[in-house]
Each structure stands twice: as C-alpha cells, then as structure tokens.
Amino acid sequence: MVSMSKIATGNGHGENSPYFDGWKAYETNPFHAIDRPDGVIQMGLAENQLCFEFIKKWLMEHPEASLCTPEGVGKFKETALFQDYHGMPEFRQAVAKFMGKVRGDRVKFDPDRVVMSGGATGAHEMVAFCLADPGEALLVPTPYYPGFDRDLRWRTGVELVPVICESSNNFQITRNALEAAYEKAEEDNLRVKGLLITNPSNPLGTIMDRDTLKSIVRFINEKNIHLIGDEIYAATVFKDPEFVSISEVIEEVECNRDLIHIVYSLSKDMGFPGFRVGIVYSYNDAVVNCARKMSSYGLVSSQTQHLIATMLNDDDFVDNFIVESKDQLSKRHKYFTWSLSQVGIGSLKSNGGLFIWMDLRKLLKEKTFDGEMDLWRVIINEVKLNVSPGSSFHCHEPGWFRVCFANMEDSTMEVALSRIRTFILKNNEAIVPLKLCRRSSLKLSLPRSLSRRMDDFMSPTGIMSPHSPLPQSPLVRART
Ligand SMILES: Cc1ncc(COP(=O)(O)O)c(C=O)c1O
C-alpha cells in the first residue's frame, strides 16, 4: 500500500470516542415516528432547530436575499465571481453588528477585525495555528467540547492540557485549578501559550460570572499567555443572569489586549451550522493579519455571505429573532428539565446552551468510567437515545451525560422523555422520588398507576407529557 502521512493516518481526528460512536449508532438506525418508531433518537447533536418557521417567514418576505429569485438574480454574477478573502464589507459589518446585539449592545465590534473561517471549527484551528507552535500547549477547562481535540490539535500539533473543574462548585473555573494545570504543564515540559474558555459552556449550559471572567483575564495577563473565548452560544442564554462577554470584561480589567481573541459562529445562535459561518475576532493586529491570509482555506461562500448580510442587516428581524429564540429555548429547557425531575433526574442548573448536563451518578452500578460506559451502552442500545457520556467531554467525575434538547420536534422530544421515564422507573428505585416509587412499584404497569395524578402528566404548554401511557416506547411495547 502506498504510505500516507503520519498526521493523516494517526488518530488526531479523535473519532475513537463514544461521542462519535453514539452518532454512528444513530445513523445506522435513526428514529422516525412512522418508519422507524424503535430507532435511536439523536440527543447528541447541539443544533438549534426551534426558530425555523420564524426564519422562513423572513425569507419569504425577502426574496432579494436569495440569488435564485427574480428579485435577487441581478446580483448573481457579481456574487458568483466574488472571492476576496477579506469577505464582503456588508457581511463583516452585519456580523459585527450582530455580535454587538447578542451582547446587549454593551460592546461594539469593529468589522475590520472580523475574520472569516469555515465555522467555529475552522476558527479554532486558525487561532491555534497563529498562537502556538507544534508541541506547545493551551489550557482548557473540563468538561469541554470533544471537537476541540480535533480542531485545535490535529493539524497544528498543539497540545491541550485540562484544567480540572469539579461538580462540588458546579464546575466553575477557579484560580487554583488554573494554577494547578499551568504547573502540571510545566512539569511535563510543555510551554503554555494560552487558555481556551467556552462561555456559555458546552456541555454545561452555564455561563461564567463577571468575577470569574475578571480573574481569568488577570491570570492570563500575569502569565502573559493568550485567552481564546469561544462564545458561539452567546445568544442561547435564555434566562438571567445575562451573558457577559470577554469583550466587556477587558474594558473593566487592565490587560494586554493583544492576548485576547474571540471565536464566534452562526452555527448555534442562529441555528445555521450548514452555512459554515465562523469568525475569529482578535484584538491583536498580527493575529488578524495572519488569520485573514488563512481565511483562503475556509472562506464562507459568497452566496451565504450575501444572504447573511441581508438578513443580519435587518435590525427588526434580528431584534425579534433574538427574543423569539430565547423564548423557545427557555420553554423547551423548562419543560425538559421539569419532566426529568418528575422521575428524580437532576441536572446542573443552567441558563444557556442547547443541552443539559444530566446527573445520572445514582444510576451507576460502579462509580467509575467503566460504569459510566456500561450505563451509556444501555441508554444507546436499549433505551435508544444517543446521549453523550461525560468522559467524552473529559469530565473527571463519572455519571454525567450531555443531553441536547433543541434539535427535535416536540413530538420526538415526548417520545424521548417517555423512554427515559420508563427506563428510570423500571431500573432504579434509588433515583425515583419515594412518592412515585410507592405508587408505581417500579414495574411497567407504571403508566396506569401514574395516571392517578393527571397534573403530573401535562406539560406547561398543555401537551400530554411523557408521563402518559407510552405506546411509542419500545421498552413498554416489549413488555405489554
Ligand atoms: C463549543 C463549540 N465550539 C465550536 C463548535 C464548532 O462549531 P461550528 O459548527 O461553527 O464549526 C461547537 C459545535 O458543537 C461547539 O460546541
């Protein structure tokens, strides 16, 4: 066989992870309400699908935003020919304005610092390439998005060093944890070039408070290392306290701005991961210049730039969209967490993101990562839900799972919830509140016994909740 490069044939992509295995399980047997009612429900995909009707309405009212309509075709030729790696001025301006609006207009972004990339994925690689040489390291608080292992490391040769955060303080980043990770890297002869934070957090759905952000800025400034702030979930914060961006904090804390870089994208806040609109926003001129040259590898298509520029320059649309999106996410989150709490499942308190960080520690037979994987296999193979185990996010405590809630229709969510409910009540008395245990006797006669409390079964929106008899659940069907 003709040999290939080490980098191409190595495991740098990080695909050997349950995070991706779960996706494969879903892809081989995807749930469909009619065609595959016993299929796997995808709850491992952080997509924001709750506002598409709202967006569709705008598209219908603005045919000029498309190049394939009589109103838009006049711009077809110039757009098809456009290839400047700076990006269209109106696109950069629209994105800069949107970034400001998402942060409550408390900060302004300069369109000349907006650098395009293929999604946040490309943006992270760009930043890592600009800031660190192969073998140098970036600190990353855990748990963190598994894609970072690929995006920041694979082609750049940069190392990631975990900053261990724990459930005892709700996984907050502390100065001690940062110092410990820094020292560990030094012991391992790794030169630390920066710290990467994700705020709002994937997978936690939490945001960092102003004091934590200030202490982080002081830390990186003292160590003279870079700070990369992944803020791609900024507009998903649906409940107080409000999101605070690193761009606000650097106006309050003295620091060297050359060290500050923001990664942004429209994949989560707008729900457009397919458009691959990623942004590096750096306060460092040299980084802007280098990243701009690298843009050529991952330009956003000019057709997409045209559409996004038209859409995001419509102030009324953007203002209403931000409100609508938060409202939808808030309702979904509330109902989802409430439904889980009815069967005794807790999750980390959160107010953003497209997921919850579900606490299944009580369900582990063994409080180890093997125990976590055993439980995960049952959830994917028997309950038929693709949720992602905490270990794939480098969480240091077994028993946490990330569950996405905004990538499906209400009816699919009901099926997912009914499966979870059935599984929990069947399998574990420890986690179920006593009042439910007594009533249910934890057998699959459960729906009838539970039907005594109809108010338990209704969602806040009046939809029948998963607590209703569960005809959709394969587990129920297997027993009846
Ligand atoms: C924290 C974080 N950063 C980056 C990405 C990649 O986003 P994009 O689709 O814009 O490449 C994701 C995707 O899930 C993410 O959660």
For 426-468, write each residue's pLDDT tens digit.
Answer: 876 655 554 444 443 333 223 333 333 333 333 333 333 333 3
Q: Are residues 120 and 32 in the same domain?
A: no
Number of domains in the chain: 2
Q: Is the CB of 353 under 6 A from ligand 1?
A: no
Q: Quick check: is 3 in a domain?
A: no
Kindly state the average pLDDT of the residues 215-223.
98
In the chain, % of residues over pLDDT 70: 89
To test the ligand 1 pocket, which listed residue (95, 145, 207, 281) has its Cβ within 8 A of the most ligand atoms? 145
Q: Are residues 329 and 301 in the same domain?
A: no
Q: How many A from CA of 141 to the centre of ligand 1?
A: 16
For residue 269, give the CATH number of its domain.
3.40.640.10
In the chain, % of residues over pLDDT 90: 82
Q: Are residues 260 and 288 in the same domain?
A: yes
Nearest Cα to 121, choosing from 77, 89, 153, 167? 153
Q: Please provide the average confidence, as pLDDT, over all residues in the chain.
A: 89
Q: Are residues 140 and 236 in the same domain?
A: yes
Residues 388-431: tens digit of each pLDDT: 999 999 999 999 999 999 999 999 999 999 999 999 888 766 55
The band of 131, judged by pLDDT with boundaries at 50, 70 and 90, is very high
Q: Are residues 234 and 331 in the same domain?
A: no
Residues 265-304: tens digit of each pLDDT: 999 999 999 999 999 999 999 999 999 999 999 999 999 9
Residue count of the chain:
480
Range of the domain at 293: 64-315
Q: How many A from CA of 230 to the centre of ligand 1?
A: 9
Residues 230-253: tens digit of each pLDDT: 999 999 999 999 999 999 999 999
Q: Are residues 150 and 96 in the same domain?
A: yes
**Token output for 195:** 């710290």
For residue 40, give the CATH number of its domain.
3.90.1150.10
Of 281, 297, 315, which closes a domain? 315
Spatial contact of 48 and 329, defined as CB atoms under 8 Å apart: yes
Q: Are residues 297 and 323 in the same domain?
A: no
Q: Are residues 310 and 341 in the same domain?
A: no
Q: How many A from CA of 95 to the centre of ligand 1?
A: 17
Q: Quick check: is 182 in a domain?
A: yes
Q: How many A from CA of 479 to the centre of ligand 1?
A: 40
Q: Are residues 344 and 238 in the same domain?
A: no
What does pTM read for this prediction? 0.89
User: Taking 50 as the threshold, does the pLDDT of residue 475 lie above it?
Assistant: no
Q: Quick check: is 4 in a domain?
A: no
Q: Is 268 a catalytic residue?
A: yes
Span of 65-69, 326-330, 440-444 with lowest mean pLDDT: 440-444
Query: 302 pairs with which residues across the strands?
Result: none
Query: 149, 230, 269, 359: which is the annotated catalytic residue?
Result: 230
The band of 13, judged by pLDDT with boundaries at 50, 70 and 90, is confident
Query: 197, 220, 232, 262: which is the annotated catalytic residue?
Result: 232
Spatial contact of 420 and 385, defined as CB atoms under 8 Å apart: yes
Q: How many A from CA of 340 to the centre of ligand 1?
A: 26
Q: Is 232 a catalytic residue?
A: yes
Closest residue to atom 15 of ligand 1, CA basis: 145
276 Cα nearest atom in ligand 1: 10
Query: Tell me, what's the pLDDT at 456?
Result: 35
Q: Is the CB of 389 under 6 A from ligand 1?
A: no
Q: Is the CB of 118 under 6 A from ligand 1?
A: no
